[in-house]
Chains A and B, each alone.
Chain A
Amino acid sequence: MHPPFNILVQLLRGTVVTIELTVFAALLAFVISFIVGFSRMAKFWPLRAIAIIYTEFFRGTSLLVQLFWVYFVLPLFNVNISALAAGILILGMNFGAYGSEVVRSSVLAIPKGQTEAGVVLNMKPSQITWRIILPQAFMIMIPTFGNNLIELLKSTALVSLITLNDLMFQGKMIQNTTLRTTEVFGLVLVIYFCLAYPLTLGVRWLERKITVGRA
């Protein structure tokens, strides 16, 4: 077996974990973005307060420290979570906090006249939200969500510090045993890029497809 090939296979094994983490954390973040984003605009003030506390907590404390808390501190209180679940949870909640601001600002960017037109046509508030406001707000969200997604992908490297064998973790392992530092981290760099760039292209494609004829 040629060593470089061997290295690549092991790195790809870690890549699978990185992709897994990214996909599930992104789905969680997406859902949280909408729930928290809409809660921040709710008429009921306790809901708004909870949403603000949530957002400020996750934005204001370090992602790495949060990971350590969930993986190393919670077990001291008899709460045991697997490294993968901890990674998905914390990444999802973190990027959900950022995403909620994207959702909120996009919804608020839709002119008031759109809601008024819906009211005057006697639509229900839920119809106005789903049929008038969200489709327009979503177009504004896409580019920022795309950026956040790539940011999320790169942040998954942090989970290597809570023993999860993702791409970064595998890289460090192989580097430790082979000492081929340049090749290993060079490959890790290239693999991250190969994951991130299709995301950029995908978001751009989605943006074009959704805005066709309208812009």
Chain B
Amino acid sequence: MNTNAETAKVQPMVRYRNICKSFGDLKVLTDINLEIAPSEKVAVIGPSGSGKTTLGRMLVTLEKPTSGTIEIDGEMLWHKTVKGELVPADEKHLRKVRGNAGMVFQQFNLFPHMTILRNVMEAPVHVLGIPKDKAKEQAISMLKKVGLEAKLDNYPRQLSGGQQQRVAIARALVMHPKVMVFDEVTSALDPEMVGEVLLVLKEIAEEGNMTMLVITHEMAFAQEVADRVIFMEGSIVEQGPPQALFGNPHNQRTQEFLSRFRNA
């Protein structure tokens, strides 16, 4: 493990322990052990089918690990302890721990029947129980932050892909999760819209306090924003600070993968 002395002292925000995941006969992840420190920005790269999206989806309970445990901020996500024994978590426990995590999807997944403002207000009002006027205020200020305060009353379909993705980011941010998963958030966008979304991501990263797990194909972005880059191919093949991993990868598979990007 490449955790430095400084991060080893504090309790990790996220801890994957011996995680394996299979879909039927297909083994997607093998023995993942990963700790992410509070406010650390981790970029996960790897070929498609390498299990990196599955890794992120498990953290927000969209996929269930076949074996192993996941902790968020010291609390088991998929299990709870009853009389000293680990038992599978129930829906109530899942909801409690999941509240610490948020996710932005590749396909935005905005609610098409709600205005932009309502998209961002929906969960604060109905999940956190924040009064409507206060939630509205927070939603507007978050939409301002992603540069969309002019689109409050529009519907998602009236926005460009880049704008929709920025709304999705605002929708996740108003919940103030401790850790956020960004799952290839620029992969579904037209090339000219990638920049505006990455810019927003970069601003969030620079604010510093949120733990981020960024699954991405944008190598330049990973290099610029991440504290640590992980190369995956069914398991963690290699990880390290961006300069080391991109500049001087040790593993042959990492080298091959990165060389494909250089040629492209």
Count class of interface residues, chain B = 20 to 34
Does A113 count as interface, using CB distance less than 8 angstroms? yes
Option from A119, A121, A124, A214 in Cβ contact (under 8 Å) with B113? A214
A residues within 8 A CB of B91? 125
Interface code A119-131, partner B: CB below 8 Å = 1, 0 otherwise?
1111111010001
**Pairwise interchain contact B113-A122, C-beta atoms closer than 8 A:** no
Does B196 count as interface, using CB distance less than 8 angstroms? no
Given contacts A123-B127, A139-B113, contact A131 B105 (CB under 8 A): no
Q: How many A-B residue pairs have CB under 8 A?
A: 61
Interface code A1-37, partner B: CB below 8 Å = 1, 0 otherwise?
0000000000000000000000000000000000000
- Whole-angstrom distance between the alpha carbons of A213 and B115 in the complex? 9
**Pairwise interchain contact B111-A214, C-beta atoms closer than 8 A:** no
B residues within 8 A CB of A215? 157
Does A75 count as interface, using CB distance less than 8 angstroms? no
Interface code B157-200, partner A: CB below 8 Å = 1, 0 otherwise?
11000000000000110010000000000000000000000000
What's the minimum C-beta distance from B197 to chain A, rounded to whole angstroms?
17
Given contacts A121-B175, A123-B123, contact A132 B155 (CB under 8 A): no
**Pairwise interchain contact B105-A122, C-beta atoms closer than 8 A:** no
Interface code A91-133, partner B: CB below 8 Å = 1, 0 otherwise?
0000000000000000000010110110111111101000110
Among B116-135, those with CB < 8 Å from A are 122-123, 126-127
Does A198 count as interface, using CB distance less than 8 angstroms? no
- Whole-angstrom distance between the alpha carbons of A111 and B113 in the complex? 13
Option from B62, B112, B155, B171 in Cβ contact (under 8 Å) with A121? B171
Does B77 count as interface, using CB distance less than 8 angstroms? no
B residues within 8 A CB of A111? 109
B residues within 8 A CB of A135? 113
**Pairwise interchain contact B123-A132, C-beta atoms closer than 8 A:** no
- Whole-angstrom distance between the alpha carbons of A139 and B91 in the complex? 30
**Pairwise interchain contact A123-B126, C-beta atoms closer than 8 A:** yes
Does A66 count as interface, using CB distance less than 8 angstroms? no
CB-nearest residue of chain A to B110: A117
Option from A124, A125, A131, A214 in Cβ contact (under 8 Å) with B112? A214
- Whole-angstrom distance between the alpha carbons of A213 and B155 in the complex? 7
Option from A117, A136, A214 in Cβ contact (under 8 Å) with B109? A117
B residues within 8 A CB of A124? 95
- Whole-angstrom distance between the alpha carbons of A35 and B112 in the complex? 25
Identify which of A125, A127, A214 gathers the most chain B CB atoms within 10 Å of its CB.
A214
Interface code B131-165, partner A: CB below 8 Å = 1, 0 otherwise?
00000000000000000000000110110000000
**Pairwise interchain contact A127-B126, C-beta atoms closer than 8 A:** yes
A residues within 8 A CB of B172? 120-121
A residues within 8 A CB of B122? 121, 131
B residues within 8 A CB of A214? 112-113, 155, 157
Among B92-110, those with CB < 8 Å from A are 95, 98-99, 101-103, 105, 107, 109-110
**Pairwise interchain contact A120-B62, C-beta atoms closer than 8 A:** yes
B residues within 8 A CB of A120? 60, 62, 98, 101-103, 105, 172
Given contacts A121-B175, A122-B95, A131-B122, contact A113 B107 (CB under 8 A): yes
**Pairwise interchain contact A132-B105, C-beta atoms closer than 8 A:** no
**Other A-B pairs beyond A117-B111, A123-B126, 10, CB < 8 Å:** A114-B111, A116-B105, A116-B109, A119-B60, A120-B102, A122-B98, A124-B95, A131-B126, A214-B155, A215-B157
Question: Can you name 28 A-B residue pairings with CB atoms under 8 Å?
Answer: A111-B109, A116-B109, A117-B109, A117-B111, A119-B61, A120-B62, A120-B98, A120-B101, A120-B103, A120-B105, A121-B122, A121-B123, A121-B127, A121-B171, A122-B99, A122-B175, A123-B123, A123-B126, A124-B95, A125-B91, A127-B126, A127-B127, A131-B122, A132-B111, A136-B111, A213-B154, A213-B155, A214-B112
